[in-house]
Copies of this chain bind each other. A is one copy, B any other.
Amino acid sequence: MTTRSGAPAQPSERSGAPAQPGTRRTKQRAAISALLADVDDFRTAQQIHDLLREGGESVGLATVYRTLQAMAAAEEVDVIRHEGEQLFRRCHSSEHHHHLVCRSCGHTIEITGPGVTEWAARLGQQHGFRDIDHELELFGLCDKC
């Protein structure tokens, strides 16, 4: 990605895929994908790493990070930041949504903000801001915690 071979041969880039990483099907990616399909709650990269190890599928922590990053870029997983660390989760809805997350076990419920996006856009415009983005997450303790 940083270095380029001297040859002027154009990289094998088809039209569809924007040369994102994470193309190749590997055992590690499969393991992470499978785990994410299983665990319906937000988890840190380190937790995912531990869970994989517990499950016998040992994957390097760096790979976990790299894969999650790629999946996040491909919008296959949702990422939220909480207290300095990032939490990952495979979400069901592909539409814009927010989360109600248990701050103890990570149990998550997807929620939709009632008109938050429009509200944010309107408010931004009012104050001369453009390119408005919003962060909205709810945290609490679920009934099991």
Q: Could you tell me which A residues sit within 8 Å of B by CB distance?
A: 81-84, 100, 102, 109, 111, 114, 119-120, 123-124, 127-143
Would A132 and B139 be within 8 Å (CB), given that A84-B84, A123-B100, A123-B111 are in contact?
yes
Q: Which residues of B contact A139 (CB under 8 A)?
A: 132-135
Shortest A40–chain B CB gap in Å is 14
Total copies of the chain: 2
Pair B128/A142 contact, Cβ less than 8 Å: yes
Pair A140/B124 contact, Cβ less than 8 Å: yes
Pair B129/A100 contact, Cβ less than 8 Å: yes
Pair B140/A137 contact, Cβ less than 8 Å: no
Which residue of the partner chain, among B81, B100, B127, B137, contacts A109 with CB atoms under 8 Å? B127
Would A132 and B140 be within 8 Å (CB), given that A81-B81, A84-B81, A119-B114 are in contact?
yes
Would A134 and B136 be within 8 Å (CB), given that A84-B84, A109-B127, A114-B119 are in contact?
yes
User: How many angstroms between the C-alpha atoms of A8 and B129 in the bound complex?
Assistant: 58
Q: Which residues of B contact A132 (CB under 8 A)?
A: 100, 138-140
Would A130 and B124 be within 8 Å (CB), given that A81-B84, A84-B84 are in contact?
no
| 20 pairs from A and B in contact (CB 8 Å cutoff) | A81-B81, A82-B135, A84-B84, A100-B123, A100-B124, A100-B129, A100-B132, A120-B138, A129-B138, A129-B140, A129-B141, A129-B143, A130-B141, A132-B140, A133-B138, A134-B136, A134-B138, A134-B139, A135-B135, A135-B139
